[in-house]
Every structure is written in structure tokens, then in C-alpha cells.
Amino acid sequence: ANSCLAFDGSGKLYVLNTQLGMYRLDTGTGAQEAYSAPFPNLPACSLLQKAPCSPTPVNLPALPNDVAFDAAGDAYVTDSMQATIWRVPAGGGAPQIWFQSSKFASPYIGVNGLRIDPTRTKVYVSVTTDLLAGSYIYTLPLVAAPQASDLKVFKKFALGEAADGFAFGATGDLYVTLALPTTSGFVVLGPDGVEKRRSVSPLLSPTVPYDSPANLAFDGVDSLFVVNH
């Protein structure tokens, strides 16, 4: 199963796959080549199970969900079921654990969207639903080994709002999809995390115009594209 995809700085296209890991596509010929090993299935951490493990209550399989590249060519990948952010080194190879937190754990989809901010100093990640049904945007410094204390709340969403994919606009605002039918659409957050506006489906029309959107992207001119689940 494929999930998200991204272009690197040189215009090559990379795709996340639950069985294959990351693979690279030649957009001219369609030729496919392996880029990373599959993302490991980590056992759940416990008194008897030490690292490497996932900080989750139960053992769940890997689910690579979103990906972004830094200036050095390293890829950062969210793992929605294992409460983990992986780093795939520039040039490819085995995924490495970059950051983990029990705040990313979820009964279904935890840590989800991921983008590097326009200043290239922070990693933003969304948690769609945590173990207490909360949904958040968190930030981490873009450093070699962030610590637990580095994880900061950028936005806490209201109960029933489930943040999914997101993207930065040209002015630095953050456009975040809301994936539940009760609030289908997206919100726009300023640099301080305060909501500036939202575009959602009417209460009695949960699937029009938005139907549980998963992600969005700008075309660089004047349009925003939104994909639905």
C-alpha cells in the first residue's frame, strides 16, 4: 500500500510504501528503484522490552504515512502506528529512529502529517488522535537528536477535530486538513498557532465540498489542491 510522496531538492520523486519502504520513481520513464529498506515492525516497549521499541501500549505494525526532505537530503517519515519519526539518510538505506514519544501513540492513526518549516529549523508534525482522543500539531527542532523536552505544542484542536496532512503557505501560515466527517475541511493557522480562518463543509453536508480530507498542496500560483480520504 502506498501512502504519501515527495520530491527531493533535485526533482526526484519518492513514495512511501508499507511493504517496500521508500522507493524512487523516474517521472519520465516510470522506472522504479528501491531507496530504503522496509520500515521495521518494532515491539512495544515494556519492562522486559528495551530499545529499539515503540512507545505504544500494544504491538502495532509500521505505517509510514508522510515524508519531507531537509536541505541535506535526509528524509523524515512519520510512522502512525508506532509513535515514531524515522530518518532515512541522504542516498537511502536503512531507516533510523529519529524521535519517539508516547504522545504520538494512538489506537489507530497517531503521528501523521510532517513538514519542515520555511526557515528549515523546525519539524512540524500532526497527531490525528492520541490515546485520549486529542489532536495536535507539535514542533521539534531540526537537529540530529531531539530530546523529549524539545517536543512543543503548536496547536491543540477541539474535541472532534482530527488534524491530518498540512502545508505551509507562501506567507508562512499553516494550512491543516481536518479529517473527520463532522468537521471536514481545513483551517489556517498563523505563525503563533492561532486560527485565522477555516473552510469546512456545512454541518448538514458532511461530504460536500470536503469528504474527510487527507492532505493538501499548493500549485505555486493561485490554487490549493485538497485530496479526500
Instruction: Name, in order, each residue with C-beta under 8 angstroms of 28's C-beta and a sequence gap of 6 or more.
Output: none
Q: Report the C-alpha gap between 122 and 188 in whole angstroms.
A: 18
Tens digits of pLDDT across the chain (229 residues):
999 999 998 889 999 999 999 999 999 999 999 999 999 999 999 998 888 999 999 999 999 999 999 999 999 999 999 999 999 999 999 999 999 999 999 998 999 999 999 999 999 999 999 999 999 999 999 999 999 999 999 999 999 899 999 999 999 999 999 999 889 999 999 999 999 999 999 988 989 999 999 999 999 999 999 999 8
To which H or E segment does residue 187 belong? strand 185-189
User: Listing from the earlier edge strand, what are the strands of the sheet with 21-25?
Assistant: 2-7, 13-17, 21-25, 32-34
At residue 204, the pLDDT reads 87
At residue 49, the pLDDT reads 86
Q: Report the C-alpha gap between 220 and 76 in whole angstroms.
A: 23
Residue type (1 letter), 44:
A
Radius of gyration of the chain (CA): 17
CB 83 within 8 A of CB 104: yes
CB 177 within 8 A of CB 214: yes
C-alpha angle with apex 67: 66 to 71, nearest 5 degrees? 155
Q: CA nearest 75: which of 52, 93, 101?
A: 93
User: Can you point out the beta strands (E) in 21-60?
Assistant: 21-25, 32-34
Residue 21: which region, alpha, beta or left (left: phi > 0; alpha: psi -120 to 50)? left
Residue type (1 letter), 67:
V
Look up the pTM and report it.
Answer: 0.96
User: Listing from the earlier edge strand, what are the strands of the sheet with 96-100?
Assistant: 64-69, 75-79, 84-88, 96-100
Q: Distance between terminal CA atoms of the chain?
A: 14
The helix/strand/coil state of 17 is strand
